[in-house]
Amino acid sequence: RFDVYGRAVGVERDGDDWRVVYLGTEGKHRPADDIFLPPTLEEEDLLSYLADLCHEWASPDHPEVRLLSS
């Protein structure tokens, strides 16, 4: 789980691909079809890749991408 500039995002492997979802406050989630992670992306590179990909979401209240849990 990541906090991507204020948005809760879940990322997990689905076979060789990455599955990305937006996480709701009530335990619900929906596909994050606007976030594509290349299958070759390594887990240790997720945070920096998400920061680069979604940097337009940054604001003074949410200036960074953080790992919430692994």
pLDDT at 25: 84
3-20: per-residue pLDDT in tens?
A: 999 999 999 999 999 999
pLDDT at 70: 57
pLDDT at 55: 97
Phi/psi at 66 (5° precision): -130, 145
pLDDT at 22: 97
Domain count within the chain: 1
Tell me the C-alpha distance between 24 and 69, whole Å. Answer: 15
The list of the chain residues with pLDDT below 70 reads 70
Domain range enclosing 40: 2-67
Whole-model pTM: value is: 0.90
Q: Are 40 and 49 in contact (CB under 8 A)?
A: no
